[in-house]
Every structure is written in C-alpha cells, then in structure tokens.
Amino acid sequence: VLPGHFPGTINMPFTSFLDSSGKHLGTETLSKLFKEAGVDLEKPLWTSCGSGVTACHVILAAYRLGYSGLGLYDGSWGEFFKRAPPGYIIAEEQGKKE
C-alpha cells in the first residue's frame, strides 16, 4: 500500500496532540490546533490513519473538547486503498493502477 490520503481530508498527525513527554496537550492548545487545521467541529468528524489505531488520538482530542459525532474508519487507508477506484486514491507516489 502506497502512502497517501482520502480526497478532501485534513492531515493531523497524532503526534501533534502530544507534548514532549508524550502526554496529551491541554484543551486550549487542542482547540487551537483544530482551528488552525480548518476542522469544523460543528460537523461530524471521522478519522482514519494507516491502520485505524493512531487516529484514536484525534477522536480523544475532539472528545476532550466536548464534541460528539465522532467516528473512526477502522478499515483505514489500507482498506480504502485496496477497494477504492484509482480516481479516489491520492497517493504520495504514482498512485493506484487499474
């Protein structure tokens, strides 16, 4: 599976929610991160990552800010890459072949 992302997504690496000791940042900083990334937490939010595990940090951060409507696509990029038509694959390299 090539590295890539879903069409229309915002990339927020789970490490951006952690301080230097590995603990989650405070809610004021988390709120600022979401706002700066352009995430509208008034709308439903779904997350994903390479395997469906680290995306849980995004859900936890949004939950701590009081938001609901949170979902995890546990099939992750790996499943999407295998099942989606080539036109829906935005890969960092050459993309998916027919």
- Catalytic residue numbers read 49
Residues 6+ apart with CB under 8 A from 94: 2
What's the angle, vertex CA 72, arms to CA 13 and CA 23, rounded to 5? 45
Spatial distance between the Cα atoms of 1 and 10, rounded to a whole number of angstroms:
20
Nearest to 41 by CA among 60, 11, 6, 66: 66
